[in-house]
Structure 1
Amino acid sequence: MPRPRLLIAALAFAALAWLLFAAAERALALAQRFLQLPGWLQWTLGSALGLFALAGLAVLWWIVRPRRARRAVDAPDRGTLEQRIDRLHTRGADTGTLHAELGELDRRRAEARIYLALFGEISTGKSTLIRALAPQATVASDARGGTTRQVVHVDGALPDGRPLTLADVPGSREAGGEARETLAREEALRAHVVAYVCAGDLTRTQAEEVRWLAAFGKPLLVVLNKADQWSEAELAQLLERLRKQTGEDAAMVIAVSAGGSERFQRTLPDGGVEQVERQRKPVIDALWKALARLASPGAEGLEAQRERAVLAGLHERVGTLETQTRAAEAERIVRRYAQRAVVGALAAIAPGSDLVIQGALAAALTRELARLYGVPASDVQVDDFVRQARLTLRTGSSIVLAIAGNALKAFPGLGTLGGGVLHAFAYALIFDSLGRALAASLAERQSLDQADAADKLKALLADGSGARMKELAALTLDAWKEKAQS
């Protein structure tokens, strides 16, 4: 080592030693001063320093802790799913699309073709990329922002000759394109491999889409398109950022250029200008290599992951339909009991001051809604719930009557028919509010929660606006006309 370098090393060592000794001396001085403090102050400062140290260690552990493996989305077995679909069908729900999804699952399994879905936001070049992967195919598109309006399948082949079907799906995050985005997500679940196409750094929304796709456990590529617009250094930095953003969600992150057409102006020898359109050559070798690697198990080897993703997606769709079907059935039940309450009120000779004299009807409503939501409810629980509802209604009876009277004034002739109609409309309002509150509570809590249902009941009773009042008034009017004609 030359003398200057030895001198620099010696000076650096001396400086480091001096810093260590100074730090040690300062620490000893602080410790000595700390020991001279009163006992209570020592405990206070010691506790504060201890908490600060623990917080620092917690932050350090959060930074360096090993990341948990991604948990795949739960998927039921097919038999259980088919039973749920059949039950929905018997209850009158439209299950045609669900049965069609299972049929498509079987059809693709029998085909033994590998399906690749290109997923991503609008205008990232998915359709152009498919044309580069399958030049002989024609992919329909238009000039609007978000070219693909439906799922388009294109037949192609992997470099080794195995058949490949490319699915061009509608782009996400298009204004008014929620239905097309649903089509895109469903098609992505049906594919063996998914390529998420982007044109730059991932936004928060795009990163969430990648995580959603990865949660189904299928091979996932992140494909950076339009790579020819960056320099080599910029492209390397961008790919590194994408790898950090996606982490373990993506099997690979690659860059491609789908090519396509470009327009520019050319100056002519006579000084004129003309518009020129030319085709750029695609650069997609990295994508072919990635596809060959991910598709190496073949359609049969990837089928289990694909089927699991399809069943998981169906599980979510069936759950949504079950919720909607229960809600519709609950609506019919509540309306039926509100109608019965109106009829009972109109038949009463002398309505009492307590608006909930039809306790048996309220108990029957409670039992039927509990059965609908699969919540066990004993007679004691039902009686307690009805008793609590009666107390809630008794304290709010003046509000109920005031709302009923104001609502009836909106219907010419109905508000002048006397106290019997007012009393009947109050019953309609009570049973409608009680049924809706109970149904909402059962759906959320999956139990007969008196306090939660009571809170919802109070809110509904105090709401005297909207179409609900018109429906209840119409129901009361129909019942009154039937009584008058009989």
Structure 2
Amino acid sequence: MSRRLRLLVTTVGLAALAWLLLASIERAIALAERFEGLPQGVRWLVGGVLLLLVSLGAAVTVWWLRPRRPRAPVTAPDRTSLEARIAQLRHDDAGVEELRSELTELDRRRASARTYLAVFGEISTGKSSLIAAMVPGAAPASDARGGTTREVTHYETSAWGDGWTIADVPGSAEAGGEARERLARAEALRAHAVVYVCAGDLTRSQAEELRWLGDFGKPLVLAVNKADQWTDIERDQILQHVREQADGIPDAVLAISAGGEERFTRRLADGSTEDVTRRRPAQWQPLRDALRRLLAAGPSALEAQRENAVLASLHERTGERERAYRADEAERIVSRYARRAIVGAMAAVAPGSDLVIQGALAASMVRALASLHDVRVTDVEVDNLLRQVRMTLRTGTSVVLAVAGNALKAFPGLGTLGGGVLHAFAYALIFDSFGRALAATLAERQALDQADAGERMRELLNEVDASRLRRLADLTGEALRLRHEPSD
């Protein structure tokens, strides 16, 4: 924009502002004169309303501009309890071995006394170019963690002092790259600090990743890459906007240029063209200065933060494994008791009528599932739950028989064996529904909620799932075959 045009725009803007100000003053004077002409009671009412509106506006403004409280990092459990939980999981689970190796890696890095820095961010933001600028000519170092060397590359350098290791991790937000993204996040938590790289305004997923790193209390620098492609005004505007989006989570927000290669077509004097590839110079001095300030205390001073992040992540991952283990074990418990109920129900007059006979079996299943989920139950609670189940079955016997009869029609070999098979299959359906409902309640609520378990059971009794009915039919047939096989 030329100087004359800028002067013209400024003059027009000032004139418009002055006109608006004069119009506002004139309007205010007119309103004041009308206000003075009102009865005294009305003036008091209008004044009170205006005062209330002004007070509310001031309160909202103060609340909006108040200093934001820093987000408290996730608190990890103590290591001893975490190791005990991991030890209780199945030893043949590959995921459990990953948890154990994470603790081993935590100790190894502490003993190495090196400073670990992870360069993290979405794909195509220039992470690898930044590392090439930070550690020119560095060769990848071997990673003691088996299975990650192809995904996480470590570079060792002493350019900034003794004992620095920089990790280049896979980029996030890649289609089909969920496994690599998990590796990248795990490596970010293992590091003492993280450089998060973006290439402009933050996307929603990038903002979520920043909040995730902030929740774990990671020392964090947000590096806005490709600053050499902007003017000074554009760079300042982008940095200001990114700082607002980051919401105070990073310790520093700065602009850099990671360099890298650029390709363009050049027209020669004779009219021909040629493709040219050249390397753009890196400009990352602000990042180097910010990292030196952030990590000046050394790895030993930052170890407590790093250990808390790793253990907090392990706590979450261990919880996922525990839930998966309990779900599998609950499935086995329910199937085992459903098989026993089939054998015990062959002489039943009607499904539900002999739950008193099957009561001990049902009570044992309740206690087994409660013990699996570490929920204490009393005999009174178990009796009350079984009493509620009996009431449910008295009102839903016809539904159970209808579902069982229709399911057995699909299996002629079982459906023609008589009413005993029908009752046996009905009991398989009853115990399977009861067990699954109770297991879901215990897992979700960590308590014996009778109302919730009863509602879930009613839904399962009315559910017509072909795969589930097929499984129960196979279970019934297997129990019948074993019952009629002659013993040796």
TM-score, normalised on structure 1?
A: 0.87
In structure 2, the partner of 1:117 is: 118
- Tell me how far apart the structure 1 counterparts of residues 275 and 268 of structure 2 sit (CA, whole Å): 11
- Between the aligned partners of 1:391 and 1:25, the Cα distance in structure 2 is 77
Alpha carbons 2:120, 2:196 under 8 Å: kept: yes
In structure 2, relative to structure 1, the CA distance for the partners of 1:437 and 1:56 (3 Å cut) is farther
- Residue 46 of structure 1 and its aligned partner are, at CA, apart by 11
Residue type at the aligned position of 1:137: A
- Which residues of 2 match residues 245-284 of structure 1 at below 5 A? 245-284=245-284
Please show how residues 287-298 of structure 1 align to structure 2 within 5 Å. 287-298=287-298
Contiguous gaps of at least 5 residues in structure 2: 1-18, 142-148
Query: Aligned-pair distance for 1:259?
Result: 1.1
Single out whichever of 23-32 and 355-364 deviates more from structure 2: 23-32
Asked if 1 retains the 8 angstrom alpha-carbon contact of 2:342 and 2:476, the reply is yes
AA in 1 matched with 2:389: A
Tell me: CA distance 1:352–1:118, structure 2 relative to 1, closer, same or farther (3 Å): closer
How far does residue 195 in structure 1 lie from its aligned partner after superposition?
0.8
Residues 55/406 of structure 1: CA separation in 2 closer, same or farther (3 Å cut): farther
What code does the residue aligned with 2:104 have? G
Q: How far 1:181 sits from its partner (Å)?
A: 1.0
**Larger mean Cα displacement after TM superposition, 69-78 or 26-35:** 26-35
Given that 2:151 and 2:183 are in contact with CA atoms closer than 8 Å, whether structure 1 keeps it comes out as yes
Take 2:124 and 2:399, find their aligned partners in 1: how far apart are those partners? 56
Distance 1:35-1:24 versus aligned 2 partners, 3 A rule: closer
Structure 2 residue 355 is the aligned partner of structure 1 residue 356: yes
Equivalent position of 1:69 in the other structure: 70
Quote how far apart the aligned CAs of 1:95 are: 2.0
Partner of 1:325: 325
Question: Residues 163 and 35 from structure 1, CA distance in 2 versus in 1: closer, same or farther, beyond 3 angstroms?
Answer: closer
Residue 379 of structure 2 corresponds to: 379
1:129-156 deviations in Å (ceiling 9; x for gaps): 111111113579xxxxxxx971111112
The match for 2:40 is 32
- What is the rounded CA distance, in whole Å, between the counterparts of 2:389 and 2:351 in structure 1? 17
Tell me by how many angstroms 1:61 deviates.
4.3
Corresponding residue of 1:415? 415
Secondary structure in structure 2 of the residue aligned to 1:404: helix
Could you tell me which runs of 5 or more consecutive residues in structure 1 were left unpaired when the two chains were aligned.
Answer: 1-10, 37-41, 141-147
> Can you list the C-alpha shifts for 1:403-433, whole angstroms capped at 9, x where unaligned?
1122222224222222111111111111111
1:81-134 superposed Cα distances (whole Å, 9 cap, x missing partner): 112212225797852111100110111111111111111111111111111111
Q: How many residues align?
A: 460
Preserved CA contact (<8 Å) 1:158 1:288: no
Conservation of the 8 A alpha-carbon contact between 1:345 and 1:351? no
Q: Distance in 1 between matches of 2:295 and 2:457?
A: 57
Q: CA deviation at 1:19?
A: 6.6
| Whole-angstrom CA distance in 2 between matches of 1:78 and 1:284 | 38
Distance change >3 Å, CA 383–CA 407, structure 1 → 2: same
SS of 2:345 mapped into structure 1: helix
TM-superposed CA distance for 1:435, in Å, is 0.6
The one-letter code sitting in structure 2 at the alignment partner of 1:218 is K
Q: What is the distance in 1 between the residues matched to 2:49 and 2:26?
A: 30
**Cα offset, 1:56, TM superposition:** 4.6
Conserved 8 A contact 2:140-2:156: no
Q: Secondary structure at the match of 2:316?
A: helix
The residue aligned with 2:12 is none
SS in 1 for 2:413: coil
> In structure 2, what residue type is equivalent to 1:261?
E
* 1:321 aligned partner, one-letter code: R
| Compared CA separation, residues 351 and 395, structure 1 to 2 (3 A) | closer
What is the deviation of 1:460?
1.1
2:131 counterpart letter in structure 1: I
Identity between Structure 1 and Structure 2 (%): 57
Greater alpha carbon shift after TM alignment, 166-175 vs 149-158: 149-158
Query: What is the deviation of 1:29?
Result: 4.8
RMSD: 3.0
Structure 1 residues 353 and 187, CA, compared in 2 at 3 Å: closer, same or farther?
Answer: closer
Deviation at residue 393 of structure 1 after TM alignment: 2.0
Q: Out of 61-70 and 453-462, give the one that drifted further.
A: 61-70
CA contact (8 A) 2:348 2:423 kept: no
Residues 111-260 of structure 1 aligned to structure 2 (within 5 Å): 111-137=112-138, 150-159=151-160, 161-260=161-260
Q: Distance in 2 between matches of 1:111 and 1:258?
A: 29
For 2:39 and 2:176, locate their aligned partners in 1 and report how far apart those are by CA, in whole Å: 67
What is the rounded CA distance, in whole Å, between the counterparts of 1:102 and 1:242 in structure 2? 36
Does the C-alpha gap of structure 1 residues 31 and 285 become closer, same or farther in structure 2, counting only changes over 3 Å?
Answer: farther
One-letter amino acid of the counterpart of residue 246, structure 2: T
After TM superposition, give the deviation of residue 480 of structure 1 in Å: 1.2
Range with bigger deviation, 411-420 or 13-22: 13-22
Q: TM-score, normalised by structure 2?
A: 0.87
